Amino acid sequence: MKYYIIAGEASGDLHSSNLIKELQKLDNESVFRGWGGDLMKQQGVDIVKHINEISFMGFIEVIANLRTILKNMSICKKDIMAFKPDVLILVDYPGFNLRIAEFAHNVGIKVFYYISPQAWAWKQSRVKKIKKVVDKMFVILPFEKAFYKDFDYSVDFVGHPLLDSIENFNNEKLDKDFVKNNNLDSRPLIAILPGSREQEISRMLETMLKIIPYFKEYQFVIAGTDKANSSEYEKIIKDSDVKIVYKNTYNLLKNSTAALVTSGTATLETALFDVPQVVCYKGSYISYIIAKNVIKVNYISLVNLILNESILAELIQSEFNEKRLREELSVILTDAGLRTKILRDYTELRKKLGGTGASKKTAERMLTYLKN
């Protein structure tokens, strides 16, 4: 079969690559084309546009790049028509993907959506469009099935693919000499995960670095996403006492005592490596005000959302400052009782996520639906 798959962010690239791997095992005549990143490309996908060209975050940032986004949509529609796929698989990235879903539905192409838009957080009106233009939705968070049921829309809960990614890492890519191989010293590690987009890095990293002098007994290490963007990190790091490792986040987390994490998929990854963390977020002022008025959830981190409890400290906007960050990091480093509770809650988190096998389960169900 011919599959056209669209992922617009680093996490989508990761989850798409694992799904593609499982589809290839089940369909030896599979052909893939789409929009994504290096991981999808490694699985043999013919990449039309790389995620580095299409990833925009925040209300203001999207408006500022609207001409580029509209041009990309036009390119995508024409490319889909030329490729003539048996199915369009959309992975998260709702602002772009829901418009492409509507187009594909209107021209008679079957549409599968893997990793639901966060309609439960804001824009619940999106569910009406999803019901109309998406043939099948595959969700990865345990509360999403019940959410869609309230709108009389049946979805498949397949478990969270991060469990697969981390299991694959432990089996295939674990670096037992990570500290030595990256010229790190013997102090306990604190991981800094400032995000994957330039916008995030520029907003988050400087404040994260300011607290380093207060924790001299620890070694801070930044999880860099791409060495090609090293200048972006270096202009912020300057003379800070910090190291950086590129494209090796899981090995860094495996060796870390604590972490400072920009809100997103990384908070869940950090939790699944049993690393106590402080969750951080800062957007443009206007984007934040808009989000504050439309978002309907009590937490921003996936860990707190899934457990429906304030397990992790969340420093949002003005709360994300040097003083508060220093206080929260100090607590998770020194309060043994809190660390024990966080790790116990992480165990409960794993249970709620449904176990490993999400990518395989999704691939099997997709092929079943395609054949029926």
pTM confidence score: 0.82
- Cα distance between residue 102 and residue 191, in whole Å: 41
- Cα distance between residue 129 and residue 96, in whole Å: 13
Indicate the pLDDT class of residue 287, thresholds 50, 70 and 90: low
- Cα distance between residue 194 and residue 228, in whole Å: 16
pLDDT score for 323: 97
Element (H, E) at 48: strand 46-50
- Cα distance between residue 84 and residue 246, in whole Å: 37
Fold that domain 2-159+357-371 belongs to in CATH: Rossmann fold (3.40.50)
pLDDT score for 313: 97
Q: Could you tell me which of 325, 321, 315 has the C-alpha nearest to residue 214?
A: 325
Fold that domain 175-352 belongs to in CATH: Rossmann fold (3.40.50)
Task: Indicate the Cα dihedral angle 123, 125, 131, 137, nearest 10°.
Answer: 10
DSSP annotation of 196: S
Element (H, E) at 305: helix 302-307
pLDDT score for 275: 98
Poorest-confidence range of 83-92, 124-133, 258-267, 284-293?
284-293
CATH topology agreement for domains 2-159+357-371 and 175-352 = yes
Share of the chain above pLDDT 70, in %: 91
CA distances, 32 to each of 23, 37, 42, 91, 372 (Å): 10, 13, 12, 14, 21
Q: Could you tell me which of 245, 234, 241, 232 has the C-alpha nearest to residue 210?
A: 241
Q: Is the predicted pLDDT of residue 9 greater than 90, yes or no?
A: no
pLDDT in tens, 326-366: 999 999 999 999 999 999 999 999 999 988 999 999 999 99
- Cα distance between residue 133 and residue 104, in whole Å: 8
Q: Residue 35 forms beta bridges with which residues?
A: 6
pLDDT score for 64: 58
| Positive or negative torsion for Cα 52, 287, 303, 91 | negative
Q: Is the predicted pLDDT of residue 290 greater than 90, yes or no?
A: no
pLDDT score for 286: 59
Q: Is the predicted pLDDT of residue 61 greater than 80, yes or no?
A: no
For range 45-71, the mean pLDDT: 72
pLDDT score for 202: 84
Poorest-confidence range of 4-8, 194-198, 252-256, 346-350?
194-198
The domain locations on the chain are 2-159+357-371, 175-352
